[in-house]
Amino acid sequence: MTENVKQLTLLSDFKTESPRPLWEQANSLEELTEIITACRRCRLRDGCHQVVCGEGNPKADIMLVGEGPGKAEDEAGRPFVGAAGRLLDNILKAVDLSRSEVFIGNVVKCRPPGNRLPLPDEVKACEPYLRAQLRIIKPKIVICLGALAGKTLVDPSLRVTRDRGQWVDKDGFLIMPTFHPAALLRDPRKKRPVWEDFQSVIKRYDQLKA
């Protein structure tokens, strides 16, 4: 644990002097990652091998948010490294983006057992970390991969089949909901809409850079 995080931990013991939670006090992705790695705020930590905080450019203009780590991610400690991750790599490559250029994370940082969807209380416990990552990285564009990310960052009533492909300007971010790569593996007909969504992202990204 770094000195900064140790100090934050000590400060958090004096709740009247420092009521803000640790993750809101973190000033860098490294500090935040240490805090998340030590987390036991929900039951998911008991059933996973390691916490998968996310990876990529700490100053990325584009951040991709999935649901949670699967078996391969839990073993590797990295996001999107299984079959869905390889497909995501291909999608990124097709639009001339690399993993090192973007930041890739998830709504929950610990693997739900049997790859089930995270439960509402688990999402609630972990969401502040995602918000803290967004605060520190400050991406211009956020791509929500799948319904859970869209429901968490856009609106609980979001339906990815209905709302994908439509930009949402919220909380200072341009958000693009689209299908999760795992959905494309199950149903290849979703590849075209995802391709169109990523084309829209690149177009907007180029406009922002210009």
111 binds ligand SF4 (CB under 6 A): no
51 binds ligand SF4 (CB under 6 A): yes
* Smaller CB separation from ligand SF4, 121 or 187: 121
- Binding ligand SF4 (rule: CB under 6 A), the pick from 108, 137, 174, 183 is 108
134 binds ligand SF4 (CB under 6 A): no
29 binds ligand SF4 (CB under 6 A): no
- Binding ligand SF4 (rule: CB under 6 A), the pick from 5, 22, 29, 44 is 44
109 binds ligand SF4 (CB under 6 A): yes
Beta-carbon contacts of residue 203 (< 8 Å; ≥ 6 apart): none
H helices of the chain, in order, are: 3-13, 22-25, 29-37, 44-47, 71-76, 83-94, 120-137, 147-153, 160-163, 181-186, 191-209
107 binds ligand SF4 (CB under 6 A): no
135 binds ligand SF4 (CB under 6 A): no
CB of residue 203 to ligand SF4, shortest distance in Å: 34
Exposure class string for 127-152: b at 16+ Cβ within 10 A, else e: eebbebbbebbebebbbbbbbbbbbb
Strand order in the sheet with 173-178: 55-56, 103-106, 62-66, 141-145, 173-178, 168-170
Where does this chain bind ligand SF4 (CB under 6 A)?
Answer: 36, 39-42, 44-45, 51, 108-110, 122, 125-126
